Amino acid sequence: MPPTLFSPIEIRGVRLPNRVVVSPMWQYSGVGGRPTPTHTVHYGRLAEGGAGLVIQEGTTVDRRGRGTVGDLGLWEDRVVPLYAQLVEVVKAGGAVPGIQLIHAGRKGRRNPPWLPGTPPPSADWPLLAPSAVPMGLEGAETPVEMTLRDIEDTVAAFADAARRADEAGYEVLELQAAHGYLIHSFLSPLANRRTDRYGGSAENRFRFLVEIVDRIRTVWPDAKALFVRLSCVDVEWTIDQTVELVGELRAHGVDVIDCSAGGITGLPFPGLKTGYGYQVPYAHQIRDRTGSRTMAVGHIVHAVQAQSVIEDGRADLVALGRELLYNPNWPLDAARKLGVPDPYVRAPARISHWLGKREQSFPGFVPSTGG
């Protein structure tokens, strides 16, 4: 039997060949919302590295929901063929193609993180939010409180983007409902001060996300998987509230919870100490308390570490981000270190053949299992 990290898992009608996931990572390289050769290179090399699932960076559902001018977007039908090409790149690399859908909300109109300054001079779209409450960052702008028409249009925009994602061939869809972006701000009592049916009680604050899920499920095929990324703990938000929300989401067709933390103020969750696997306990608690499948994130860097998360039942999937930027072949390397009989099988034949030859050049070599 292979290590559980490299065992397949079926989610609805989607079969992932292993439990290693490429986390969505913004590239800030789109032009007019469209992908560029940068994205082809980025997703191609990650897919060829052996991960079971590659989730495309947060892709905006509405021009007014962009985080930066370099965001990708799925707000019009004519771009579907461009994303279909990215899907084929990922599939040719041996991975299942996924996509994250996002509306930046009050975290919009920014520069890439290596070019600080808000808003960038070319930003000309409004900041939308559930309430006119700015983020707690110096110089943060006050967003515009969304009308009921704005809310309905945004729910429809998520569903339209999901339909386009299906047409492009993505098999897994994730909603970004964490880290201070629009959906998260509706969930949070810190950012949501509304007094209508979208604010106040937990049920009302959940409503926006639940309506998005319901509308997406009308256009996203039943055989395809739906993930939701949540900040499981945050300012004025506890793990108990996440458990309540996940129970609701499961009843509405969500398959996997991607378990992160913090972001509603624009800053890391106060008191959250980073370290190896520092957010894994959230995935473990949500899995145990709700029965939902979960994905663990947060400084998962070593093969044996990732294997233990899956083997011990703390999560069903592990997602890596910056570690894969450092080493896009991390999954192949981890398979070798964990003793998978044919560790390079997930790579295309033009790569796996030569890596096998390389292996034969080092008879008796036993790799370290730590990295």
Q: Please name the amino acid found at residue 332.
A: L
Chain position carrying tokens 């008879």: 363
Torsion sign across C-alpha atoms 12, 15, 20, 25: negative
Task: Reply yes or no on whether 282 is catalytic.
Answer: no
Q: Are 295 and 315 in contact (CB under 8 A)?
A: yes
Q: Are strands 9-11 and 14-16 parallel, antiparallel or unpaired?
A: antiparallel
Set 28, 83, 170, 181: catalytic member: 181
Q: Report whether the peptide linkage leading into residue 121 is cis, meaning its omega lies within 30 degrees of zero.
A: no
Q: Are 259 and 294 in contact (CB under 8 A)?
A: yes
254 φ, ψ (degrees, to nearest 5): -85, 135
Give me Rg for the CA atoms of the chain: 20
What is the CA 145 to chain-centroid distance, rounded?
Answer: 26
Catalytic annotation, residues: 181
